[in-house]
Amino acid sequence: MGTVVVVAPFFASFFRTQQVVPGVANIGLTPVDFVAGALGIVLVRYVIAEGTITVSKMSTYFFGFLLLLIGWHVVRIEPAEAPLRSITLALQLVRNALLVGCVLVFTRSTDVPVINRLVSGGTAVIGALTVVLWMIADTYSTELWEPLGAFHIMLTGTKKGFDQPLIRSQWLVGDPNFYSILLVVGLFCAVEIAIRRGRRQYYVEAAVIAVALFLTLSRTGIGAMLGAGTLALIASVQRKNQDILSIRPDWKAVLTAVVGVLGLLLTTPVYRVVRDRMQFGLFSGRLRLWGELLSSLNGGIVAGHGLRSAEILLGRYVHNSYISLLYQTGVVGLGMYLFTVAVVLKYGVEMISKDTLGAKTPWFYAFIALGAFHLGYTYVYMPLAWLVPALVLVRTQDERTWKLSLSEVVARMR
């Protein structure tokens, strides 16, 4: 039952044009996520559990799949753009499969069956509450949002767009795509609401696990890191046979979060100056190129714009990492992220130094693999994904817009 619930949301990829809440959010899943879910299960069952598939075989399958993608793209789009798009799609597929695999490894190595708890009513309740928050945010008048409006102006330097209810609600509760996934899962959990009965801590833990799991499955770096960090915290709590409601605030983590918020307030004005200079062409040549590269690294490590980051950069200006984080998860999400980072660092060091989970358990290797993958994704792939397109920027009629021409890349290489 647990595996069915994990895989079921991927079927929503075929209905991504259907809106969960009319006028608010589309389901943020694609067929790539569906395939990644299946590959994640295979990854756990054979590579980690039985060890029947070696790394060399997996690499052979990957490159074979990559060649098929390139051939498919050659038929559908301009041949010069096919290799890069195929590699992008393949890397996205591998990344999502690895994330799904890590989550399933976690469930296999944990004493309590987490996936079975996922089918409790907590997920549906969270999805319903977020929809209510969106409705309230869209209903209230602008006068009630003055404090939030001042925060919006401080971050963006303009009040443009804040008069729209969608913008106001997004600053509060974050990107609706995060919660639309929970709503899809809530549909599968509706029957369980009437069947399941348990203690209060049972539902709280189920709700936390549901949020963490589907944040981990999201295609954005912040969602993956936040979800994986929460799962790591739950793993530590369960290994110590503690109740999740018995967790007390870690004041060092709270202090770290406060320092992070202060850093946000201090760095935002500086970033706005740099952003405006880049936007109006006051930076040029190599200086502009390196500025965009550094900005991409700054945004990629925290916000994780995703594999389409180069297109986002060329279509608009580069967001500051905290601004992107706020736009995706809301004001509350920023505090959650800073708190989670501090907690994960603390428990991560404890798990590795004291061998809390056991160095030979699959969860330990999955934890290390996930961390190594994100480091490689941030410091190796992301710089290349931003640097190569930046070398061939072509100015369009709109002074604020940049266009990527992969055909020109191929022509120059020849």
Distance CA 194, CA 406 (A): 55
Distance CA 11, CA 33 (A): 9
Length in residues, the chain: 414
**pLDDT (mean) for 260-267:** 40
User: 263 falls in which pLDDT band (50, 70, 90)?
Assistant: very low
Q: Is the pLDDT higher at 408 or at 7?
A: 408
| CA 14-19-21 angle, 5° bins | 145
pLDDT given at position 351: 53
Distance CA 93, CA 101 (A): 12
Region of 330 on the Ramachandran plot (φ > 0 left; ψ -120 to 50 alpha; else beta): left
pLDDT given at position 178: 36
Distance CA 271, CA 196 (A): 50
Distance CA 212, CA 355 (A): 23
pLDDT given at position 134: 41
Q: For residue 75, what is the enclosing H or E element?
A: helix 55-76
User: 56 falls in which pLDDT band (50, 70, 90)?
Assistant: low
pLDDT given at position 126: 41
Query: pTM score > 0.75 for this model?
Result: no
Q: Give the residue from 88, 182, 32, 144 showing the smallest Cα distance to 404.
A: 88
**pLDDT (mean) for 232-244:** 49
pLDDT given at position 275: 47
Whose tokens are 């072509």? That residue is 394
pLDDT digits (tens, 9 = 90+) for 152-169: 444 444 444 444 444 434
Q: Could you tell me which residues come within 8 angstroms of residue 396 by beta carbon, excluding any fewer than 6 positions away?
A: 402, 403
Residue 130 has pLDDT above 50, yes or no: no
Q: Give the residue from 273, 286, 308, 282 showing the smallest Cα distance to 386.
A: 308
pLDDT given at position 299: 38
pLDDT given at position 81: 56
Residue 280 is classified by DSSP as T
**pLDDT (mean) for 101-110:** 40
For residues 77 and 338, is the Cβ–Cβ distance under 8 A? Answer: no
Q: Give the residue from 27, 14, 17 showing the smallest Cα distance to 217.
A: 27
pLDDT given at position 144: 39
Q: Give the residue from 384, 403, 387 showing the smallest Cα distance to 395.
A: 403
* DSSP reduced 3-state for 21: strand
Cα–Cα distances (Å) from 318 to 37, 84, 117, 149, 279, in that order, read 31, 21, 40, 22, 9
* DSSP reduced 3-state for 174: coil
Distance CA 267, CA 275 (A): 12
Residue 354 has pLDDT above 50, yes or no: yes
User: 350 falls in which pLDDT band (50, 70, 90)?
Assistant: low
Q: Give the residue from 290, 309, 311 showing the smallest Cα distance to 301.
A: 309
Whose tokens are 């991504």? That residue is 16
pLDDT given at position 368: 52
For residues 49 and 362, is the Cβ–Cβ distance under 8 A? Answer: yes
User: 204 falls in which pLDDT band (50, 70, 90)?
Assistant: low
- Distance between start and end Cα atoms, the chain: 54
pLDDT digits (tens, 9 = 90+) for 375-389: 455 445 544 444 444
| CA 335-338-339 angle, 5° bins | 80
Which residues does residue 395 pair with via DSSP β-bridges, in sequence order?
402
Q: Give the residue from 193, 235, 230 showing the smallest Cα distance to 215.
A: 230
Distance CA 57, CA 42 (A): 13
pLDDT given at position 60: 55
Pure H helices in 280-405? 285-302, 309-315, 321-354, 362-376, 382-390
Residue 62 has pLDDT above 50, yes or no: yes
pLDDT digits (tens, 9 = 90+) for 23-54: 323 333 344 444 444 454 454 444 444 444 45
User: 136 falls in which pLDDT band (50, 70, 90)?
Assistant: very low
pLDDT digits (tens, 9 = 90+) for 180-195: 333 333 333 333 343 3
pLDDT given at position 71: 59
pLDDT given at position 122: 39
Q: Could you tell me which residues come within 8 angstroms of residue 344 by beta carbon, excluding any fewer than 6 positions away?
A: 229, 232, 233
Residue 59 has pLDDT above 50, yes or no: yes
pLDDT given at position 147: 42
